[in-house]
Structure 1
């Protein structure tokens, strides 16, 4: 896509996100309808569903020929990366949303033939938007993202998945011990924002496309490494253990994973 087209799309998506955030904040203190999906820790609320329907309707009107992959299933059954594909997570960190009313995000990504064009991660309560793509650059609330220091694992904090640490998947305990400390935020979007802002040197978790679709675009544009946990290539439709980090921390983690 040409830069001029991407700039117009960027402006439009930011408008959707402002409206989406307003919709969520108006309903955040209302009585939620909460259901489980795969387990008691995998929740969905009426707000998740309403927000995804809202975003799907906006995309359908704006880009009717595109495919939409949404966490709650109101988009399309996407099995191919061909063409234009939007990936949306209406509430990332639903448990945090339900129990804390904080530390959750809205995420949108746009891919063209498997190539990331634009990514958006909005910290709803913090009102912080990380946005951009390879042709536009990465922005933090509209300002160019500050350069990210290439910090090693031993010199920084790392965001980890709680279950992965408890099960010591991929030597996760060793990874935590080699770092200055681990943090568990409970939202991929919040963790990815923290890595992009240099607050964490990396983040590891089992993720699905809507969890990392936007982050993959932003991290690659910002010069971070984002791969499968074994260093393998990460496709836009992958569901796997994901490692994103500074180049130095990424190398350090892969050394520990390979032991």
Structure 2
């Protein structure tokens, strides 16, 4: 791993752990939080904003020249020529968090010179730290992880994400096509966490027709670091529109892609 990436990855791990500790405290006091609605089934509270501010301040203190994309604060310092970009969802699975469910996480992705390079996804309640850099392997809490070796969809489990930007008919068509292969599916309400589980082989693949960059970047880095593959995903300014995510081991990825249509089609509202 190149030194500049290694030091940033170390900082990402530290930032995720600090943000996670703050979120865990607020989770225990979530009844005190004021909940705001950003859109249909899309909620936010001070927990999201404070965790993002903590991460953003740490990045700025160590790497003031780096660009930053956050779910709550948007893009800062972003330009086509930006060498390093931090892509952050401070709390993926906000609805789970606010309802007292367990599936939520902190997601920090790193893009270097236009390439998704590294990622950290931290589950504070289980104290599981997923981290990795493309070409250098991936780990959970220090233990090496790898994507599933299942290549037959009929033997596999796929994480399947749904968002309001995708119409019910499109989602139904996608689910029908995937289930027709014999796959079973899981949905936990936190796409970044499901991508981490894909990297660790806990599910065999993940598909979401549209994911924002802050949800997808860290997980895509982890999956590639763990020996997997994914559809091309935009970086830099183009990533602000998000894109389709399909990830698995290379053989399974190709077989699933054949079953799905129009993955490069624009999504309304993106």
Task: Tell me by how many angstroms 1:158 deviates.
Answer: 0.8
Partners of 2:81 and 2:132 lie apart in 1 by: 20
Q: If the length of structure 2 is used for normalisation, what is the TM-score?
A: 0.85
| Cα distance change on mapping 1:179 and 1:100 into 2, 3 Å | farther
Task: Give SS of 1:167's match.
Answer: helix
Relative contact order, CA 8 A, sep 6+: which one is greater? Answer: 2
Structure 2, unaligned stretches of length 5 or more?
A: 263-270
Please report the RMSD computed on the Cα atoms of aligned residues, expressed in angstroms. Answer: 2.2
Regions of 4+ moved over 6 Å: none
Does the 8 Å contact 1:152/1:201 carry over to 2? no
| Cα distance change on mapping 1:105 and 1:120 into 2, 3 Å | same
- Equivalent runs, 1:1-259 vs 2, <5 Å: 3-30=2-29, 31-39=32-40, 41-73=41-73, 76=76, 78=78, 80=80, 82-146=82-146, 148-162=148-162, 166-169=168-171, 171-205=174-208, 206-227=210-231, 233-236=232-235, 237=239, 238-258=241-261
Partners of 1:160 and 1:135 lie apart in 2 by: 27
Moved more, 141-150 or 56-65: 141-150
Task: Give SS of 1:212's match.
Answer: helix
Partners of 1:16 and 1:48 lie apart in 2 by: 14
| Cα distance change on mapping 1:223 and 1:78 into 2, 3 Å | same
Task: Give SS of 1:25's match.
Answer: helix
Task: Give SS of 2:203's match.
Answer: coil
Q: If the length of structure 1 is used for normalisation, what is the TM-score?
A: 0.88
| Cα distance change on mapping 1:147 and 1:69 into 2, 3 Å | closer
Task: Give SS of 1:248's match.
Answer: helix
